Homo-oligomer: A and B are copies of this chain.
């Protein structure tokens, strides 16, 4: 057994020695964690809310699933981004939603193309860093979206999955602040600590707290107290925010190295979008066809460079070029240039 697992097992054993941990916790989340999140969302995102509006969930995926289960009935219409995070679309379709896809560009969702006002259950957006294209939703579009939502009786699900990462651009407050009880804010530690942790939180309009807590309890009683307490102690001591600052610097550095290597290797063969925030970019290859994406991505991944085809995230084929999502956050900085060079040879091979 590796050393680290001894420590994990010891941590678990310590946890179990406390009698209070021999009972179910609050389905809305551990009170210590919710209190520390209450301070954190105010400091980091300017969000002011009541403590009971915050619920703890198993990462943003569970947030999306709960939204689908609580808010969407079969046949209900939902607005999604186009292209869209596949797992968001999946949970909506799974509950029988009719998806209306709204095109996104470098300023996020093009709100001029929102469907006519009507009955909609919700709109799902990633305003801090649109997934996958990386646009930041502009202030005007934020207002237009909220106006549309009010008129359509729709909730807006704001997935702030990597809102901690911004480079050389001033922070934009979350949509939640324009919300007037209409925005469901979703935060996660997947991009700051680890996606393997499965920890996130929602900030709900007051009217939705009851139904969401109920649904969360039906789904799995509550998120593990073991992890919730560990995160609470990271937040209480300030260790979490120090870690986020460190990660922000490290990822800004990785991003710089990555963009430089890409420019050197591919020059004007590529167009890169979504660089001002987040932990990934989309790279369009001007001379490669969209149909080649799957094949190239498979071969790149087999050779240790994980890239993901973009075309499949669109509701209909619109872009003739091949495009890939490049996530640079999990690459050691020193390996980035080597990885990109490696890719250069594959992609040239792909053109012959």
| A225–B196 CB distance below 8 A | yes
The interface residues of chain B lying within 8 Å CB-to-CB of A21 are: 194, 196
Q: A9 contacts which of B217, B224, B233 (Cβ < 8 Å)?
A: B233
Interface flags for A234-245 (1: CB within 8 Å of B; 0: not) read 101101000000
Contact with A19, one of B6, B62, B221, B330 (Cβ below 8 angstroms): B330
Q: A196 touches which one: B8, B24, B196 (CB < 8 A)? A: B24
Whether B197 lies near A225 (C-beta < 8 A) is yes
* In the bound complex, CA of A19 to CA of B335 (Å): 14
A11 within 8 A of B: yes
Which chain B residue lies CB-closest to A11?
Answer: B11
A8-B229, A230-B9 known; A22-B195 Cβ under 8 A: yes
Please provide the chain A residues from 181 to 210 with a CB less than 8 Å away from any CB of chain B in the complex. 193-199
A30-61 vs B, CB cutoff 8 Å, 1 = contact: the mask equals 00000000000000000000000000011101
Query: Which among A17, A18, A218, A330 has the greatest number of chain B C-beta atoms within 10 A?
Result: A218
Within 8 A of B (CB), among A66-108: 87, 90-91, 94
Residues of B within 8 A of A196 (CB): 21-25, 222, 224-226
What does the 1/0 interface line of A1-19 toward B look like (CB < 8 Å)? 1001111111110111111
Q: Is A159 part of the contact surface with B, judged by Cβ < 8 Å? A: no
- A1: contacting residue among B14, B87, B197, B237, CB under 8 A: B237
A227 at the interface (CB under 8 A from B): yes
**If the complex has contacts A11-B11, A225-B196, are A220 and B62 also in contact, measured as CB distance less than 8 A?**
yes
Contacts of A24 in B (CB 8 A): 195-196
- Residues of B within 8 Å of A224, CB to CB, are 58, 196-199, 224, 227
Q: Is the CB of B9 within 8 A of A10?
A: no
Asked if A65 is at the interface of the complex by the 8 Å CB criterion, the answer is yes
A224 to B234, CA, bound (A): 17
Smallest CB-CB separation from A74: which chain B residue? B74
Is B4 touching A14 in the complex (CB atoms < 8 A)? yes
- Asked if residues B9 and A218 are in contact (CB atoms below 8 Å), the reply is no
A219 at the interface (CB under 8 A from B): yes
Q: Is A223 an interface residue (CB 8 A)?
A: yes
> Taking CB as reference atom, which chain B residue is nearest A6?
B233
CA A232 – CA B9 in complex, angstroms?
A: 9
Q: A61-B220, A195-B221, A224-B224 are in contact. List 19 more A-B contacts (CB 8 A).
A: A1-B237, A4-B15, A7-B10, A8-B229, A9-B233, A9-B239, A12-B193, A12-B227, A19-B330, A19-B332, A21-B196, A24-B195, A24-B196, A62-B220, A65-B218, A65-B219, A87-B221, A226-B226, A227-B227
Q: Report the 5 A-B pairs with minimum CB-CB distance, sorted nearest first.
A: A11-B11, A196-B225, A58-B220, A62-B220, A5-B233
A-B contact pairs, 10 of them (CB 8 A): A4-B14, A4-B15, A4-B17, A5-B232, A8-B233, A19-B332, A22-B195, A94-B218, A196-B224, A226-B227
